[in-house]
Amino acid sequence: MRKQIDEIAKKLQDAKKVAVLTGAGVSAESGVPTFRGQGGLWRNKDPMKLASIEGFLQNPKEVWEFYNWRRELISKVNFNPAHKAIAELEQKKDDFLLITQNVDGLHKLAGSKKVIEIHGSIWKVRCTECNNEFFDKRPNLGILPKCEKCGGLLRPGVVFFGESLDPVLLDKTIEFLKSCDFMMVVGTSSVVQPAASFSMVAKEAGATVVEINLEKTPYTSYMDYSIQGKAGEILPLIVERI
């Protein structure tokens, strides 16, 4: 693995335009449960249904209970060495973009500034009536929180399963990936589209693509480098070498 890390660090050092994509595995190392696996269960219900637009429309009370639980949990955790290493990499590269599927805000807490949160933020809420959107960092907003402007029901400011990504953010992401020369895909199972295919956009554009994840993914065989392990252990080793 050391040889791989040295080779990756050398290519990253020479790279001019760098993209990083992160998934739930990065946040899991801070103690944030993933949707998949034993750590993702909540009251013996399927979190993926609770995080869907259908679930919210059918039972907003239960969905808000779930998101208040998530907000309280996330409010008690902190960024980890993987988050910090990515923030440090941004400081070393002028042309840099972090695309994260995570909604917890830990990347920004670690110091990342050039960030696209493609699935939104758990700390943002939006009115279902007047579309008033704002940040609210309180751990618990109560059941069925209402908009102060119009009294409409608020919803979490995240992209639910079954909803499309913000087209402006998606276009900005694709545009950057088509012109980057190095990309790291970190802590993602690469099964949720369209993010799962982002690495192939960069690959087809000629970029060196590196995967860091606990397990192999459907895209592992297409990667220039793939390392199985913890992002918080591997990323600092790479970044400190450039």
What is the spatial distance between Cα 235 and Cα 233, in angstroms, rounded to a whole number?
Answer: 6
Amino acid identity, position 173: T
Q: Token digits for 157?
A: 């400011």
Neighbours of 63 (CB within 10 A): 22
What is the spatial distance between Cα 83 and Cα 205, in angstroms, rounded to a whole number?
Answer: 26
User: What single string gives the DSSP state of each residue in 95-128?
Assistant: EEEEEE---S-HHHHHT--SEEETTEEEEEEEET
Q: Which of the following is catalytic: 119, 124, 155, 230?
A: 119
Residue 119 appears among annotated catalytic residues: yes
What is the spatial distance between Cα 136 and Cα 123, in angstroms, rounded to a whole number?
Answer: 6
Active-site annotation, residues: 119
